[in-house]
Amino acid sequence: MFENFEIIPQFEGTAREHPHFSLSVNGSEYKGMIQDDKVHWYQPHPKETLEEEQLEKIESKVIGMMSDYKEQ
């Protein structure tokens, strides 16, 4: 589905704390953040190259992984 998933902590312990992440799909790197249990993608947006169904599966998995990270 995707490779090289990395969580990038930013603004930890502040009101602006939102988990950021990066991942690779088919050799392309994408970055984004999670806010209110929704993925917000930075440019380039993966919907430009991925099918909607694949993107929904990726977003669901990312949200699950980020939830696990927050619980640690």
Any domain includes 13? no
Instruction: Please name the helix (run of DSSP H) or strand (run of DSSP E) that holds residue 34, with its range, or none.
Output: strand 28-35
Query: pTM to 2 decimals?
Result: 0.82
Any domain includes 53? yes
Average pLDDT of span 12-16: 72
Average pLDDT of span 47-51: 92
Assess contact for 34 and 19: CB atoms under 8 A. yes
How many other C-beta atoms are found inside a 10 Å radius of the C-beta of residue 26?
A: 10
How many domains does one find in the chain?
1
The residue ranking higher by pLDDT, 15 or 31, is 31
Any domain includes 39? yes
Q: Which domain holds residue 58?
A: 3-8+18-71
How many other C-beta atoms are found inside a 10 Å radius of the C-beta of residue 38?
A: 10
Angle at 4 between CA 27 and CA 58, to 5 degrees: 80
What's residue 41's pLDDT?
96
Any domain includes 60? yes
What's residue 14's pLDDT?
76
What's residue 58's pLDDT?
95
Any domain includes 51? yes
Any domain includes 66? yes
What's residue 71's pLDDT?
63
